[in-house]
Structure 1
Amino acid sequence: MTQAPRITYPQSLNGLSTREEIADTVIRAALGLDSNNKALWESSWAADPDITFSVGSTVMKGLESINNDCFNRVGPMDTQHLITGIRIDVKDGLNTAHLTANALAQHYRAGQGQDPNAEFRLGGGTYDIQVVKESDGQWKIKTWVINTIWSQGTRAVFQPA
């Protein structure tokens, strides 16, 4: 079977409203994970060394920790993160905003996403994200909390086979 050509995604888009720019932070992050595109993933995170990413009781602080404990594990997997119901609270003139969303995330070991008998992990929940507008004009994630409400499958897919 032939591998499809890798698609490159821009780190910023033109002509977006403020709300669309804010929503794009989480969309960029998810697309970065799903395409194993570290540059796109990192473009969604603020430069602040105190950024945090929380999944359940696991709290990662700083981009190096977030990359080691999340991107480097999930990025190579066959995944799809679907985000909907995005709500944004932003006040004119401020460089901070709050975003909430519903999400579904499907995970398979690398190369196994097309196998109907492969082990998987599917989870549904909410995202609670604080974003900041940085000096480059882009909105970026400062804190991201994932609240998993339900899941199916096995956590074992996150471990090497």
Structure 2
Amino acid sequence: MAYPQSLGVLSTREEITDLVVRACLGFDSNDKPLWESVWAESPDIIFEINGNVMKGIDEMNKNCFDIVGPMDTQHLISSIRIDVKDGADTAHMTANALAQHYHKGQGQVPDAEHMLAGSTYIIHAVKEYNGLWKIKSWVLKIIWTQGSWAVMQPKVV
């Protein structure tokens, strides 16, 4: 099922919130166009996970989406805070997240190897020339994990 990249008339805060929700839904549904729809049209976009900096959509896809997208995952976002001034073209968002990861096809297998991560997201968004809000940089700080980091490596069959 393809998910819409736009939800119609939203307030500024809802548009900015939708960026992180849409990105995580892209991961969980392995929907690369949905994932890519949140990123600013700029070669200097950044996605950082615990100090590992990925620059540009191609590097982000290769080192993150192409690994996590095909997995059985669920990302739950909460405690979203947005700092944006009326009429501004930049915004800052923080959120907390729980993300469960299983190898593809293993999400419903009892006692399957998994990794649950509790993280903080720090996101800088920009309003582009076309009026759409997009992510310019996303710093993902993993605070804690349960389970096995081996799940994050492609499973050899």
Normalised to the residue count of structure 1, the TM-score between the two structures is 0.94
Give the structure 2 partner of residue 83 of structure 1.
77
Give the structure 2 partner of residue 104 of structure 1.
98
**Distance (Å, rounded) in 2 between the aligned partners of 1:138 and 1:146:** 23
Kept after mapping to 1: 8 A contact 2:67/2:154: no
Partner of 1:148, secondary structure, is strand
AA partner of residue 30 (structure 1) = C
How much is the aligned-residue C-alpha RMSD, in angstroms?
0.8
Give the structure 2 partner of residue 48 of structure 1.
42
What is the Cα deviation at residue 57 of structure 1? 2.1
Normalised to the residue count of structure 2, the TM-score between the two structures is 0.96
**Distance (Å, rounded) in 2 between the aligned partners of 1:159 and 1:93:** 43
**Distance (Å, rounded) in 2 between the aligned partners of 1:116 and 1:95:** 47
AA partner of residue 61 (structure 2) = N
Which of residues 108, 117, 125 is equivalent to 1:114?
A: 108
Large movers: runs of 4+ above 4 Å: none
Partner of 2:77, secondary structure, is strand
Equivalenced residues, count: 155
What is the Cα deviation at residue 99 of structure 1? 0.4
Which of residues 115, 128, 139 is equivalent to 2:133?
A: 139
AA partner of residue 36 (structure 1) = N
Task: State the identity as a percent.
Answer: 64
What is the Cα deviation at residue 160 of structure 1? 2.2
- Residue deviations 1:128-161 (CA, integer Å, cap 9, x gap): 0000111222111110001111100111111122
**Distance (Å, rounded) in 2 between the aligned partners of 1:140 and 1:95:** 10
**Distance (Å, rounded) in 2 between the aligned partners of 1:135 and 1:78:** 36
